[in-house]
Chain A
Amino acid sequence: GAVVSQHPSWVICKSGTSVKIECRSLDFQATTMFWYRQFPKQSLMLMATSNEGSKATYEQGVEKDKFLINHASLTLSTLTVTSAHPEDSSFYICSAFWGNPGTAEYFGPGTRLTVT
């Protein structure tokens, strides 16, 4: 399957600081990348859809000014959690997709964020 990487794999930050998470598709060009959040023992929650060169589309209830998404190229999307608070502590996972409706999303390994 296709390879998607995320960096960092885990991060601890202090409340009020910002954290940037990178998502890269390593062996294909991703027309679309998705960002998910998952709290312990809960299902995946889609945060936003990111298309290269255009603004991200956020799901209802997700603050676009808090979760800044940039999809600068067909292989890189970044999620910046601004002014992080303890309630933002979660497992953030990106996935990448290259546009054929029959093709799957491939997930990155995830980034575990802990805000102290």
Chain B
Amino acid sequence: QKEVEQNSGPLSVPEGAIASLNCTYSDRGSQSFFWYRQYSGKSPELIMFIYSNGDKEDGRFTAQLNKASQYVSLLIRDSQPSDSATYLCAGRVGGGSEKLVFGKGTKLTVNP
């Protein structure tokens, strides 16, 4: 079964710190990975996607992908209280399927 595993957390960091969110996946055929942020009672919002090994930066966010280790991470620099949310890691399964497999999410709290 194709799975995406995330640290369930919760993760708590002080304002201004770096928050590090991690994710591993079981399907070596997965090609692209996505990080979504979900506030309580709201639907997921796309933060970043990555499909090449290495780092991808967008503002305060950096996604990292290591296909050999089947590992994806999201770093949030200069964390703000407004970053407090549940972060969902997702991988698009291989074999031509369009479905995303989601992790259970990591709840992040940024303390002022």
Q: Mark A9-44, 1 if CB is under 8 A from B, else 0.
A: 000000000000000000000001010000000011
Q: How many residues belonging to A are interface residues under a CB distance threshold of 8 Å?
A: 21
CB distance from A52 to the nearest CB of B (A): 13
Q: Judge whether A104 and B105 touch: CB under 8 Å.
A: no
Q: Which residues of B contact A32 (CB under 8 A)?
A: 98
Please report whether the interface of chain A is mostly helix, strand, loop or mixed according to DSSP: loop
B82 to chain A, nearest CB (A): 18
For B51, B88, B98, the residue with the greatest tally of chain A CB atoms inside 10 Å of its CB is B98
* A104 to B102 CA separation, bound complex (whole angstroms): 13
Q: How many interface residues does B have (CB within 8 Å)? A: 21
A-B contact count (CB 8 A): 48
Q: Is the CB of B45 within 8 A of A107?
A: yes
Pick from A1, A43, A106: contact of B102, CB under 8 Å: A43
Chain A residues positioned under 8 Å from B45 (CB to CB)? 107
* 16 A-B pairs in the complex with CB atoms less than 8 angstroms apart: A1-B46, A34-B99, A46-B100, A49-B98, A91-B41, A99-B98, A101-B92, A102-B31, A102-B32, A102-B51, A104-B49, A107-B36, A107-B44, A109-B42, A109-B43, A110-B43
- B interface residues (Cβ-Cβ under 8 A, vs A): 31-32, 34, 36, 41-46, 49, 51, 88, 92, 98-100, 102-105
